Structures are given as C-alpha cells and as structure tokens.
Amino acid sequence: MKFRIKAPLAILAALAIAPLSLVSNAQEIDFMVVDYDAPGMGDWWKLLVEKYNTEAEGTVVPRSVSAGHYYEQLLIQAASGAGPDVLTVNPNNLGELLAAGYVLPLDSFIEQSDLRDAIVPGGWDSLTVDGTTYALPITGRTLQLIYNSCHFEEAGLDGPPTSLDEIMEYAEALTQTDESGRVTRYGMNLVNANEDPTYETLLMLTLAHGGSFSDEDGNFTLDSQPAIDALTYFKAIYDSGVVPQGMSETDLRALFATGGSSMTIDGQWQFPFIEQNNPENFDCYQTAGHPWDGPATGGVNMALAISADSDNPEAAWEFISMAASDDLQSQFSDYSPYIPYGVNALSDEQLAARPYLIPYVESSGSAHPIAIPGHADQFNEIWPIVVDAVLLTLRDNVPPEEALAIAQQQLEDCCS
C-alpha cells in the first residue's frame, strides 16, 4: 500500500557524473529492475529475460537495484548518460520522468504489435499523458473487503456487508469484549495511524461518498462535501470502539491474520500472510468487492518503459512486449502477489484454486489512482497534510469541515 518518491527532478540538473563504461551493441538491452535476484517477482523477471535471450536475436543484461534506491539510481544514471534501455516506472514517477524527457512514447509500437487489446480495459490509462502512452502495465493492486466468515457465522451474519452503513452494523455485531469491557476482538480494521495508508483510508471513504480528492482539472477538493462526509463517517466508526485506534498498518494486518479482528480492506497479499501465520483457520478468510458503489483505490504499481536515449528502442520494445505474452502472463501469479494486467492472465483453474483473487482481478482496470491526478510527483508532500487533517478530527475532535479546510489551504499553498 505504501510507495515513495525518492528524489526530486532537480537532481538531474545537479549531478555531473561521468558515464559508466558500457559495451555498445546494437542488440544488447540494458534492463534496470528492482530486486532481480530476490525470490518471487525476481524469478518472473528471470523468465522474461530468458524468453527474450532465447527467442530474440539480442541479449538483455539485467541490472538489479534495491527498491529503496531504485528511483534515485535511475535519476543519477539518466543524468550521467548511463541510463538503462528499459526501466520500471509507475504512475507516481512517470510525470517527473516525462518532464526530464527521459521516457519514449510507445503508441507506434503498441499499434504495430496490436498489443492495445491484450491489456485489461483501463490498464493503460494511468500511463497515458495527453493522449500518449509511455509504459506497458505489468502489475497492479486494489484494496477489497476481506472478512473472517467463521466470525460471521458465530455472529449470525449472512454474507459480507455491501455498504458503509452495513460495515458499521456488522463491525458492532462482530466486536467482542471481556467482563471488564476490554475489547478482545475488533469488528473492523481501518488504518488510522500517522502514516500514509491513512491517506488512502480517507480516499476510499471519499470515493464511497461520491467524491475524490481533486476535480477533473486537478484542483484539490479536500473541503468538498463528499470528503467531509467521509471524515465524519471515519470519526464515527473510530469513536465507536469497533476499530483499533492508532495501530500501524503492519500491526493491523497481523491482528486480522490471527483472528483479532473480523474485517479489513486490504490487498490480496494478505492471504499468503494469513496462510503462514494462521493455517488452521485459513479457510475462514474470504473476499468480497469493496462495499460501496464506484471504484476501489489502486491501479498500476509497476510498468515497463523505454528510455528516450536508448540506442535500441525496437529491441527494447520486443523485450517489454514479451511481458504481455500469454505464457508469461499465465505464470505471473505463481511468482507475485500482485495482479497481472494481461487479459485473461489468470485462468479459470487458477482462480478456482485462489478464489480470493476474483474481486481484485475484476477491479484492477477501473481502480482510482492513489496519488491525486496531476500531482502524482507531489505525493510525499500531500499525504502528510491529508493525514494531519484526519488526525485532527479523530484524535483532537476538530470538526471535519474545519480540519479539511485547513488541509485544503495547505495543499493549495504547497502544491497547486
């Protein structure tokens, strides 16, 4: 759920580092990738590289960088002239890379290869700027309702809640206390600590009330009625005693996985964690669509792009287009907890084996971006302002309209 932008665009102008010594070869593709040698996703990248090196005339040379240093290293190497041919991007850093002139438009390649329809509807949207597409979506995620069906059965509840009102009702019915009044099981998890997932909690609730954090022109709308209604609801469920207060996202996940709470809104990665930590009760955990009309939050979190400075753009495109091939897409979920963006990437058999994935697959193409459109490269400035407003209401009892008005002004001052 977390993502970070590691360095400002100014680093491109500030750095003057001599280029690395690279072998010039018209068919050699330099691929800069996160944690290529790590198990899981790294193994899938290896399949992709092996496929290209076996079937194409050229050779891909992977360059592995840790996730915490990837974006900084990318900017440094781009400034030095030693950047890769193929790079991983996401909607949050794409704007900055475009401003640097570092990413190649892909539309001509996409149309020539007839690849547009191989990606789920909506998959290209967050990677398209002013009508031009700059990256191929690889993985994504949304947040959906996960619930403990065994707790539901104990409480006499039929099926998952389908609205925010029902969330409140179910959470109250599922919460348990001991004789002293201490909560022994919470009905619901909602992240409300001083960390960026709390930003997404308010965004989800704002979408559920028919709004967003910005209008179509990218103007901030934190002081709009849907956002006020969302924070009002957040405050009500926070004060009701059915959600843990101030617990980190990591601790909330552990609490839910071990039966300390009955519902959460989280990603599909929660299921392997549950299976590892609570295997005897794994079958109790099920998913349902997010309990409101409108989109979930999330979308593309990793895509492949080609450097505008690449000497081999055609070979680079042949490489990244292989990532959308049927055989690579069909194997993706064996290596990654995220959702692939290829059409029918998950077979009926795969979904039958892991039915909890279905709501995530169904929502991946229509998800609302976490970062505010038009302000994705300012996320690290924006989320603390939004979270401060949430905490003013939750902890300090400042009325939602006042807390959000403060945030609205701060956003306009810092980021408009």
Per-residue pLDDT of the chain (416 residues; tens, 9 = 90+): 443 434 444 444 443 333 433 334 448 999 999 989 999 999 999 999 999 999 998 999 999 999 888 888 888 888 888 889 999 999 888 888 898 889 999 999 999 998 999 999 999 999 999 999 999 999 999 999 999 999 999 999 998 999 999 999 999 999 999 999 999 999 999 999 999 999 999 999 999 999 999 999 999 999 999 999 999 999 999 999 999 999 999 999 999 999 999 999 999 999 999 999 999 999 999 999 999 999 999 999 999 999 999 999 999 999 999 999 999 999 998 898 889 999 999 999 999 999 999 999 999 999 999 999 888 888 989 999 999 999 999 999 999 999 999 999 999 999 98
Q: What is the C-alpha to C-alpha distance for residues 233 and 3, in angstroms, rounded to an integer?
A: 26
H-only helix segments in 214-285? 225-239, 249-257, 270-277
Supply φ then ψ for residue 212, to 5 degrees: -160, -175
Q: In Å, how far are 142, 233, 313, 338, 352 from 206, measured between CA atoms?
A: 16, 10, 42, 25, 33
Helix (H, G, I), strand (E, B) or coil at 353: helix
Q: Which residues contact 196 (CB under 8 A, 6 or more apart)?
A: 1, 2, 383, 384, 387
Q: What is the C-alpha to C-alpha distance for residues 300 and 296, in angstroms, rounded to an integer?
A: 12
Query: Which structure tokens are listed for 80?
Result: 């030095």
Residue linked to tokens 């006499």: 156
Q: Which residues contact 305 (CB under 8 A, 6 or more apart)?
A: 86, 87, 88, 89, 94, 97, 103, 104, 106, 134, 135, 136, 320
Q: Position 24: which residue type?
A: S
What is residue 81's predicted lDDT score, i.e. its pLDDT?
A: 80
pTM for this prediction: 0.87
